[in-house]
Amino acid sequence: MKILVTGANGYLGQGVVKTLLDNQIEVIATDFRIDRIDDRANKISANLFELENPYEFFERPDVVLHMAWRDGFVHYSDNHIIDLPHHYEFLKKLVDGGIKKIAVMGSMHEVGFWEGAIKEDTPCNPLSLYGISKNALRDMVKMLAKQKNIEYQWLRGYYIVGNSQYGSSIFSKITAAVNEGKKEFPFTMGQNQYDFINYDDFCIQVAKTVTQNEVNGVINICSGKPEKLADRVERFIKENNYDIKLQYGAFPDRPYDSKAVWGDGTKIESIMNDNTNAD
């Protein structure tokens, strides 16, 4: 199996590429910059949106794991809408070229405000440009896959903890604050409950999912259980022996954040409990 990983130099891509390589998978890894990508991969610097025939350019991969996305932590950036047709065009060119399977990194922000477990068929009503764009691309990928009779996987991500020197999550911001010598970190009350997954577990789940063909469609990459934001952040600080305290109540909760939301882990548990991978 030859897997093309886009966004391979990013916060998530780095770890996923390494995990795939550790599992003896041939990886073609692409991004604008390629300096943080594992040297065992076939590293190719490219602008995906400018390629006429990406299938041939990337040496006819069997699977694409599309993780490339701009401004992922800036939920109201206009770039989400601007880039959307280009993501679709890139994936369509791969499908037209002959790729056998599409896997795309999604987000729980596609769903919008929701209380409880998010399942494959949970209604989506996104409340940010980021969520709107991801949700639209999901519908497009599903349509493409049906038209060409190929497999597709939509990997719906949640809250990832780890590799915090990169990325822009609250955990990365706390790490940056510690490195700057700060002793306090402004925070909400932290009572909302979310699905947190450790970075290494996330990478393992993604790698196991894209290298099997039995479970497809929308798949939650998640822990499958809720935890209070305050509890997880305090634990993160303790795990890393950071000398910093949270300033509770410095910021209000975002109005579109759910009070308690997590991923239904039925499909990912099925994948992780299966010791065989499909070619």
Residue 130 annotated to the active site: yes
From the list 11, 55, 130, 166, the catalytic residue is 130
Give, in order, the Cα–Cα distances in Å from 252 to each of 111, 127, 192, 257: 21, 17, 11, 11
Q: Which residues are catalytic?
A: 130
